């Protein structure tokens, strides 16, 4: 049997609503690993926000972090780590332009958070880090650290200004995702244009010599759109964002809080439910 590369998003997909792995999920994914399939985490979280879950899952394969900007195997130092970063001069320039409309901004490397007007809740939502080892706060123009991506909380009335500036000056290099906008503030993720979970999975398909029609992915959010669109079998969670409906090839019958991925995989691979 030709192996599948099985990639799972974390928040809203593999994790339940308490941000935990269930025993059923762990057992199903480990069973597939023992059958020879390649099971990987593909998350927007940085390494520090996902490593505990990685070790709990206990599958010694690479992990995709930072929405595809980082690929590494914590249990195999021989794996060629991949990290794609926004050049400092671009990060400085975008921050300088956005500073008058910023309520907060941050990026993280491992468990170190670099923040402007630090907002712990913003970090917890996007990095999965309830407690950082270190927080370095200040203007990003003072930093000599290149990020894989940036989270900006901006004045909603000025968000078009940020979008226009990026499109006008960095259209070939930088992209952005609008995660949500309320009456007062809008949340943006800023990242390198060619980087996504899909680009990271392309690397792993080559690494494992697996055909694209044997790429099975699960996701629920807008940062999963590319990998769901490009996979041989791109599966949208029942609780997924409506924007994924146009690109998904299949859907889970159950939500992330109902072991949706585990139950889909039991059915897809014709496993015996009573084993799990």
Q: Choose one of 158, 192, 226: the last residue of a domain.
A: 192
Span 108-144, pLDDT tens digits: 887 788 999 988 877 777 767 655 678 899 999 999 9
Look up the pTM and report it: 0.92
CA atoms within 13 A on the CB side of 239: 16
Query: In this structure, are 94 and 182 located in the same domain?
Result: yes
For residue 144, what are the domain limits?
A: 88-192
Decide which of 192, 208, 231 is a domain's last residue.
Answer: 192
d(CA 115, CA 126): 13
Sheet holding 233-236, edge to edge: 82-83, 70-72, 63-65, 38-42, 5-8, 215-219, 233-236, 250-251
Chain length of the chain: 276
Tell me: do 168 and 104 sit in the same domain.
yes
Spatial neighbors of 115 by CB under 8 A, at least 6 apart, are 104, 105, 106, 123, 135, 136, 137
Q: What is the pLDDT of residues 195-212, one digit of tens each?
A: 999 999 999 999 999 999
Distance of CA 220 to the CA centre of its chain: 11
If asked whether residues 98 and 232 sit together in one domain, one would say: no
CATH number, position 159: 3.30.1240.10
pLDDT of residue 129: 60
Cα gap 112→269, rounded to integer Å? 40
**Helix-strand-coil split of the chain, %, nearest 5:** 40, 25, 35
């Amino acid at each position: 049997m030709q192996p599948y590369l099985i990639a799972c998003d974390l928040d809203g997909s593999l994790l339940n609503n308490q941000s935990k792995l269930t025993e059923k999920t762990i057992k199903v994914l480990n069973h597939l690993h023992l059958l020879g399939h390649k099971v990987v985490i593909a998350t927007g979280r940085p390494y520090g926000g996902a490593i505990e879950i990685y070790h709990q899952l206990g599958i010694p394969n690479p992990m995709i972090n930072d929405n595809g900007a980082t690929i590494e195997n914590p249990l195999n130092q021989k794996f060629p780590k991949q990290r794609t970063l926004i050049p400092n001069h671009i990060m400085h320039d975008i921050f300088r332009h956005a500073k008058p409309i910023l309520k907060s901004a941050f990026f993280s490397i491992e468990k170190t958070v670099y923040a402007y007007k630090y907002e712990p809740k913003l970090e917890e939502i996007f990095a999965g880090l309830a407690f950082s080892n270190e927080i370095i706060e200040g203007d990003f123009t003072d930093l000599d650290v290149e990020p894989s991506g940036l989270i900006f909380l901006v004045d909603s009335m000025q968000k078009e200004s940020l979008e226009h500036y990026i499109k006008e000056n960095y259209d070939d290099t930088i992209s952005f995702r609008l995660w949500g906008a309320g009456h007062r503030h809008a949340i943006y993720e800023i990242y390198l244009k060619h980087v996504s979970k899909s680009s990271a999975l392309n690397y792993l398909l080559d690494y494992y010599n697996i055909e694209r029609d044997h790429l099975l992915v699960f996701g629920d959010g807008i940062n999963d759109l590319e990998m769901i669109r490009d996979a041989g079998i791109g599966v949208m969670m029942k609780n997924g964002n409506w924007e994924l409906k146009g690109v998904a090839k299949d859907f889970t019958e159950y939500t992330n809080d109902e072991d949706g991925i585990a139950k889909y995989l039991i059915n897809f691979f014709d496993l015996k439910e009573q084993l799990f």
